[in-house]
Amino acid sequence: MKKWHVWLLAIVTTIVLLIGTFSLYVFFTVKDYENSFFPDTFIEDQDLSKLTEAKAKEVLADITNDYDQTNVTITTGDKTYTKTLKDIGVQYDTAEKLEEAFQYGKSENAVKQFFLIKKPKENQHTLSYSIDEAKLEDWLTTIEQEMKVAPKNATISIRNGQVNVKDDQKGTEIDKLNLKLDLLTALQKNAKKDIQVAANLKEIEAPLTKETLSQVKRKIGSFSTHFVANNQNRNLNIKLATETIDSYLLLPGESFSFNDYVGDTTASKGYKSAPSFLNGKVVESYGGGVCQVSTTLYNALIKAGIIPDNRYNHSMTVSYVPIGQDAAIAYGYKDLTFTNPYNSPIYIEGTVSATSVTFSIYSTENSKPANTDYQLKSAIVAQNEKGITSVTYLETVTNGKVSERKQIYKDWYKNKQ
């Protein structure tokens, strides 16, 4: 019995020693990796086994520095644009991947960690990256601006009823939205290799095509006023203002301001001093006579079925149109403005002869109603020693008969002194 006890004690002691020895071996083996990566741990195929996090970060920095130089190339037409990933603000998830790889197995018990160390399984991680979309957008916008060729509108000129239309030219631009989507898709594959994406060019139609302007050939309104030939300064002013407005094209819904377009009638623009009205008196001023231009244009607009947004009468009656049918201009406070009410462009032709100024308004066949004309009729409704009051009616003439009549203005004029 004593021998049996001795053998039993020896066996137990041996087992305890073996377990203790193994436990110590496990403990020190695991502790050896406490501050380092387990074996067969890879990020971007770089073996980080036994490395500390700080050292692994240095190793990965070399890798990402190489990735930074990856070229991103955009081709469009015969041009090529290239930037590196670094240029467009690449950001890698290095910190997250390092932490993920480092923590591999660390939460397991000591025995499992021991076997992960002694019989390692490949622990592979891949870096992902993101792009600074603001930088990418700036780059694409620069390419877009460089590649864009603006379309050119068709142009029209009308002289004595002869219409001449020059063709429009289409423009081109990159399909920026699809380019960005294609580029982001290529970037998100994370291949870390040079990337090349083609940008498609698309045509841009001109807002005003030859087809559209070729339809602007119907004269829908015209009006002339007359002047004497011997007042050279006044006649020159009329010519300058008329030529400024001539060939003006007004698109549907667009507005025109006489003062904004013709501007101040200054000597620097070539205008001369000539008689004009000021507070019921005749005075000399630069641009004298330009009100005859605005009045002629106003009456042509009425003939075309366009009622101005703003119109002012003179302080005294004028000789070139009936009372109540004038349109005064005084830069800064009296203006003639109107808006194109039609669904088609309108073209303004202005011509000057030795003794007359004429404005003609052109548009398409379906702008002003067919068999319809418009005219002004004025009447004096009051008169005294201070002045005259008139009312002006707009008459719609359909098939030669007045079909509608409405008052549009009531004006007061000082008596001439």
Instruction: Provide the sign of the torsion angle of the four alpha carbons 12, 17, 20, 26, taken in this order.
Output: negative
> What is the Cα Rg of the chain in Å?
44
410 vs 378: CA distance, rounded Å = 9
- Please provide the DSSP assignment of 161-174 as one string: TEEEEEPPB-EEEE
361 vs 417: CA distance, rounded Å = 37
Residue 34: predicted pLDDT: 82
219 vs 164: CA distance, rounded Å = 14
Can you tell me which residue has the tokens 């460089």?
146
- The percent helix, strand, coil of the chain (3-state, each to 5) is 35, 35, 35
Can you tell me which residue has the tokens 């050939």?
217
Residue 412: predicted pLDDT: 96
Which of 356, 360, 350 lies closest to 243 in space, CA to CA? 350
Residue 71: predicted pLDDT: 92
Residue-by-residue pLDDT tens, the chain, 417 positions: 566 666 666 676 777 666 666 566 566 667 778 899 899 999 988 999 998 999 999 999 998 899 889 899 999 888 999 999 899 998 889 999 999 999 888 888 888 878 778 888 888 998 888 888 899 899 999 999 999 999 999 999 999 889 999 999 999 999 999 998 988 888 877 667 888 999 988 999 999 999 999 999 999 999 999 999 889 999 999 999 999 999 999 999 999 999 999 999 999 999 998 877 776 677 767 778 999 999 999 999 999 999 999 999 999 999 999 999 999 999 988 999 999 999 999 999 999 999 999 999 999 999 998 899 999 999 999 999 999 999 999 999 999 999 999 999 999 999 876
Residue 396: predicted pLDDT: 97
Residue 332: predicted pLDDT: 87
Which of 344, 245, 257, 362 lies closest to 309 in space, CA to CA? 257
* DSSP bridge pairs for 153: none
* Rounded (10°) CA dihedral 398, 246, 323, 353: -110
Number of Cβ within 10 Å of residue 75's Cβ equals: 13
Residue 297: predicted pLDDT: 98
18 vs 375: CA distance, rounded Å = 121
415 vs 383: CA distance, rounded Å = 9
Q: How far is C-alpha 53 from the chain's CA centre?
A: 50
Q: What residue ranges do the domains of the chain occupy?
A: 2-59+94-128, 215-414
Going from the C-alpha of 345 to that of each of 155, 212, 249, 350, 386, the distances in angstroms are 12, 9, 7, 16, 44
What does DSSP say about strands 41-43 and 46-47: parallel, antiparallel, or unpaired? antiparallel
Which of 49, 46, 43, 54 lies closest to 100 in space, CA to CA? 43
CA angle 293, 297, 302 (to 5 degrees): 150
Assess contact for 257 and 337: CB atoms under 8 A.
Answer: yes
Assess contact for 154 and 165: CB atoms under 8 A.
Answer: yes
Q: Answer yes or no: pTM beyond 0.85.
A: no
Assess contact for 408 and 393: CB atoms under 8 A.
Answer: yes
